[in-house]
Amino acid sequence: MTGAAGRIGTTLREAWHGRFPLRLVDTQDLGVEREGEETLVVDLADFTATQRAVGGAEVVVHLAAIPSEDRFARLLAANVAATYNVFEASRQARVRRVVFASTNHVTGFYTSAERVGPDDPVRPDSLYAVTKVFGEALGRLYADKWGLEVVCLRIGAFGEKPGDADALPMWLSPGDAVRLFTRALVAPEVGFLVAYGVSRIPCSWWDNPGGAALGYEPVDEVEPELQRALASERSPGGGLQGGRFTDRDYWVEP
C-alpha cells in the first residue's frame, strides 16, 4: 500500500492489521512495524525504488498522490510519473491487481442535477483531476494490453461525517472506505473496473455499478438531523459537483 501514512492509508492499515500481510510505503516514516507489517520509505518517482517496493506483492493499493491542486511540475512527479512507475513496476513484478485511488473530481464539471456513472465522459475540474484521469487511462491500458487487473476507485469526501453541504452527496465514511477497499482487494476476476467511493447517501449524484460488481454495499448513513441541516444549506438547483475545484481561482501558477 502506497501513501500508507495518509488519512485513508492509516484507516486501512488499522483495519487490515492481522488480516492481510502488509507492505506499507510512504515518503515519511511510518512508525513501528507490527507483526505482519513491513514499512518502506520510498520516493515513487524513482522507478528502481518503486520496483523494490512492489516486488513480490500480489495486490498493490496505490493511494500516494498530491490530493489537491498544485504546480504542474509537482503533480507531474507525484501523480503522473509515480503512478506510471507503480503500474509498470507492478507489470514487471507480475502483480495480479492494482487498486488505484482516483477521485470524484474526474467528473467534477457535471452539475449536481445530473446523475453520473463510470461510462459517462470524464470532465476533470482541475489539473489534479487530470492526473487522476491519466491514472485511470493508464490502468485501462495495462488491463487491455497485459491483463493486469485494475480497480479504479473514485473517492468522494472521506471523513467521519460530511463537513459541509457540498460534501453531503459524496460522503465516504471510514467504515465504508474499509469495506470498499477490502472488496477491491478480494473480489474475483475484476478485469478493469471503475467504482465510486460513497456511503449510503440518498442524494448521491452517482450511479455505481462498479461498486455493485465488487460486492460493495455501503452501510453508513448521515444522521438525519445533520443531513437535513446540510441539505438546507445547498443552493436551489445546486451547482457543479466539483465544488470549489471548478472555480477559476482554484489554480496554482507555474
Active site residues: 128
- What number of other Cβ atoms are within 10 A of residue 125's Cβ? 25
Q: Is 238 left (phi over 0), alpha (psi -120 to 50) or beta?
A: left
Distance CA 147, CA 118 (A): 20
Residues 6+ apart with CB under 8 A from 73: 254
Q: How would you label 193-218 residue by residue, b for 16+ Cβ within 10 Å and e otherwise? A: bbbbbbbebeebbbebebbebbebeb
Q: Which residues pair with 155 in a beta bridge?
A: 103, 197
String of DSSP letters for 31-42? -SPPTTEEEEE-
Residue 195 near residue 211, CB atoms below 8 Å: yes
Q: Which amino acid is at 101?
A: A
Q: Which amino acid is at 144?
A: D
